[in-house]
Structure 1
Amino acid sequence: MNTRFKFLIYLACALVLISSCKKEDAERPEPAPAIAGLESEYYVVIKTSLLLKPTIENRVDSIVWMLNGQRAANALQYNFQAPADPGTYNLIIMAYNKGNIAQKVIKITTGRYLNWQTTTNKILTLEASQKFTNRNDVKWEVLSASSELYRLSVSNAATALFTAVNKGTYHLKVSAGDLVDTLLITVRQPDRAPSPYIAKVFDYLPAPGQFVNELPQYVEGDTYETMVAKAGKDLIGADANTITLGGWGGYVVMGFDHTIVNVSGRRDFRIHGNAFGANANPRPNAPFGGSCEPGIIMVAYDKNKNGKPDEDEWYEIKGSGNFTAENEPWYSAAVQRKNDTRTIRNYEMSYHRPKTEAASAPAGHIGISDYILWTDNQGGQGYKIKNTYHSQSYYPAWMKDNKLTYKGIRLASNGIEESGQGSYFVLYAFRYGYVDNYPNAHDNSGIDIDWAIDKNGNKVNLPGIDFIKVYNGIDQENGWLGEASTEVSRGEDLHLLGTNIATINQ
């Protein structure tokens, strides 16, 4: 067979193969269009428009929009014009290519409301329309709500802050005399569900105390940054461990991954401690007490929305003893025992690093009485005692400063020796408003954000909070028990956990 004839045979075979491949390609169906970038429901204010711009994946020959069964448009996008009267519309978008059709059904509701959208546990800033400019009688109110777990906080006549725990629709009204606007806020779930527990520790500095350098454990070479990280490892999440704040003023600053909503009439969050009741108090009919070491609470919300408690204003949670302890059920007994029952606001105390670290107390002594020198802004001074049960340094070992100064409120001394022999100390609980003051399961460990006050002592109307600071509010030595030291463990958003605790009206 000559070469020319062979070539013609090969060419014929190739043509047959190409023809076969083209036939298979023609018979193989192409991928169907996929419609994305559109919600299943929309709310549109009457006499306004909504431009719908879908994202179409794969090749498309035609796009058809059907409104209430009638062809409305053939285009890549569709501009819905809301009529003058409220109503509900069924919109279908259909995308075609050869042998394929894809469609998406959309419900459009029109009404007379100004439309706002947000996600759960996020603060939304609402602004009144221009017709309310220069009006000083503007009022905001909620007309109806999908859930009672929400907060509307009015900051001034022109703006209000709104946040909700649950998704749904919330109808609001802003008015001034005969002027009225009605708002519809649609609250959706975020892409990532928030955690009910502490998500971040920003700062940690305990004051000298018997559990310092142990809870959390200090290791040679640790720095401020590594100890903050250790505190975070202990406190973040559901399975939190316990850290100490040491003596008076020692603190920790924590944050959540969302805003804890300030729900009216309910307590909003709880920070665990290790408080417990006394089993054998020799005083009959004594109020609740045992190991109650109250930590004072400060709160803030992320006003500048940068995720950090930097320039945001801190507010004080007004606990029952923040101004006086005279109404506490143990107050008269504390006076009789000659406790220091003063409440001192704007208090400052400085601790001085000890020159030497003795491992144990002298024979016959319960501790080293002249261990850590302290001075305060009231002209007082004294020493923190090192007891026989904890021999490590009580001064934060990672701090290079030889003097540490703390500021805040010093509460009345709540520890009373009840045996008369120096052997049975009972630390009594304040009525409400603190950390490590009641057992974690007790309702009085819950905190209401509505108890917050500003630096001048005025109540504030916060929509919610993102950050919490806790510091030890007690300066007291309790014999062989050592100093009162606030301990902190798991933090909880009570609303996300479904825990309903009624508040106490101050």
Structure 2
Amino acid sequence: MRKWLFIILGLAACKKDNTNPADNSSKYISTVFEYKPAPGQFVNTSIGDGAAAQQLIGSTENVLTLGAFGGYVVFGFDHGVSKFGIYSNTIESLSEPGVVMVSRDVNGNGKPDDAWYTINGDQYSSAIKNYKITYYNPGGYADVKWKDNQGDSGTVAINTYHTQAYYPSFITAQDSVSFTGIKLPATLKDSSGVYINAGFAFGYADNWTSDYKTNGYNSFDIADAVDDNGNKVTLSSINFVKVYTGQNSKGNGTIGEISTEIRGAIDLNM
């Protein structure tokens, strides 16, 4: 969805779990491990490419788009974290909720290759689990077709505001790309010609709440993490975070698709 903010980032290495940060630890993102957006109107632009993703490091001032449903970014802190905030560019009438997942560096190799857990937001019980969507590259500036595992199909529609290709040109999968996750309920409504995408109560990034209104970020506690079966898990700290667009909504020709954007993250205990 169209929001007019931009991003800057750097480069660092995520260290193994350390619940007692060193004096030189950063409270911000230290490493961006992977950026794989779904198609969207800001993909392949200055806020939707690999360089833009790296600009999340050490900053909360720059926007990164994740594209349509499933598009994601994986980042890490240089120490163990239990409570954190994710900055975005949401506004009161246009939330673009992103699902948040966390992982602990159990094997100590500094890579996000251990088990992942989902933050249990208020829509978790009503979300479609194991939702899979596949996008097909049209080969240029054209609507991007998709099909899902629920028997539905549609497009990520182009608009006249952004005329580059919407399918990410910098990912390996150039014929088609698939994403799997939980799909949150759609909330886009036309209110007398004004489109509104209301926020959820809690548990999502790029989501307008009283928490966001007060602090400028959505806050998360790893005590709210659940496994793939929805069972609560106990984590002393986490090192890695994944955020992906949680709604599959075409939007319209003016606002474009619903696409989560973030501006960085912060350890709320530092």
- Give the TM-score category using the shorter length: 0.7 to 0.9
Report the counterpart of residue 317 of structure 1 in structure 2: 119
Residue 210 and residue 217 in structure 1: after superposition, are their counterparts in 2 closer, same or farther (change >3 A)? closer
**Structure 1 residue 383 corresponds to structure 2 residue 186:** no
1:380 Cα offset (Å)? 1.2
Query: Could you tell me which amino acid in structure 2 is paired with residue 473 of structure 1?
Result: G
Partner Cα distance (1:470, 1:405) in 2? 16
1:485-504 aligned within 5 A: 485-496=259-270
Q: 1:475 pairs with 248, 264, 267, which one?
A: 248
Q: 2:70 pairs with 249, 254, 259, which one?
A: 249
For normalisation by structure 1, the TM-score amounts to: 0.47
Report the counterpart of residue 394 of structure 1 in structure 2: 166
Residue 239 and residue 407 in structure 1: after superposition, are their counterparts in 2 closer, same or farther (change >3 A)? closer
Question: Is the CA contact 2:102–2:117 (under 8 Å) kept in the aligned structure 1?
Answer: yes
Partner Cα distance (2:188, 2:141) in 1? 27
Higher strand share: 1
Q: Secondary structure at the match of 1:442?
A: helix
Report the counterpart of residue 135 of structure 2 in structure 1: 351
Larger Rg: 1
Q: Deviations over 1:180-236 (max 9, x none)?
A: xxxxxxxxx73x421100000000000000111114365xxxxxxxx2x5411x100
1:271 Cα offset (Å)? 0.9
Report the counterpart of residue 305 of structure 1 in structure 2: 108
1:399 Cα offset (Å)? 2.8
Question: Is the CA contact 1:215–1:242 (under 8 Å) kept in the aligned structure 2?
Answer: no
Q: Deviations over 1:401-424 (max 9, x none)?
A: 2100000011100111111xxx30
1:85-164 aligned within 5 A: 123=18, 163=19
RMSD: 1.9
Report the counterpart of residue 276 of structure 1 in structure 2: 91
Question: Is the CA contact 2:141–2:166 (under 8 Å) kept in the aligned structure 1?
Answer: no
Question: Is the CA contact 2:17–2:104 (under 8 Å) kept in the aligned structure 1?
Answer: no
Residue 449 and residue 483 in structure 1: after superposition, are their counterparts in 2 closer, same or farther (change >3 A)? same
Q: What is the aligned residue count? A: 250
Question: Is the CA contact 2:17–2:105 (under 8 Å) kept in the aligned structure 1?
Answer: no
Report the counterpart of residue 127 of structure 1 in structure 2: none
**Structure 1 residue 425 corresponds to structure 2 residue 195:** yes
Q: 2:59 pairs with 229, 235, 238, which one?
A: 238
Q: 1:204 pairs with 35, 52, 73, which one?
A: 35
Query: Could you tell me which amino acid in structure 1 is paired with residue 256 of structure 2?
Result: G
Report the counterpart of residue 187 of structure 2 in structure 1: 414
1:276-295 aligned within 5 A: 276-277=91-92, 290-295=93-98
Report the counterpart of residue 20 of structure 1 in structure 2: none
Q: Secondary structure at the match of 2:223?
A: helix
Higher helix share: 1
Partner Cα distance (2:266, 2:141) in 1? 38
Query: Could you tell me which amino acid in structure 2 is paired with residue 429 of structure 1?
Result: G
Partner Cα distance (1:217, 1:313) in 2? 27
Report the counterpart of residue 466 of structure 1 in structure 2: 239
Report the counterpart of residue 5 of structure 2 in structure 1: none
Partner Cα distance (1:374, 1:489) in 2? 27
Report the counterpart of residue 12 of structure 2 in structure 1: none
Partner Cα distance (1:122, 1:390) in 2? 42
Question: Is the CA contact 2:48–2:65 (under 8 Å) kept in the aligned structure 1?
Answer: no
Q: Secondary structure at the match of 1:483?
A: coil
1:40-79 aligned within 5 A: none
Partner Cα distance (1:486, 1:416) in 2? 17
Q: Secondary structure at the match of 1:405?
A: strand
Question: Is the CA contact 1:429–1:437 (under 8 Å) kept in the aligned structure 2?
Answer: yes
Bigger RCO of structures 1 and 2 (CA < 8 A, at least 6 apart): 2
Partner Cα distance (1:316, 1:231) in 2? 22
Question: Is the CA contact 1:201–1:252 (under 8 Å) kept in the aligned structure 2?
Answer: yes
- Structure 1 gaps, min length 5: 1-120, 124-162, 166-188, 219-226, 263-267, 278-289, 325-342, 359-370, 497-506
Partner Cα distance (1:294, 1:231) in 2? 19
For normalisation by structure 2, the TM-score amounts to: 0.87
Question: Is the CA contact 2:64–2:263 (under 8 Å) kept in the aligned structure 1?
Answer: yes
- 410-419 vs 438-447, which deviates more? 438-447
Q: Give aligned-pair identity as a percent.
A: 42
Partner Cα distance (1:438, 1:406) in 2? 25
Q: 1:437 pairs with 207, 217, 222, which one?
A: 207
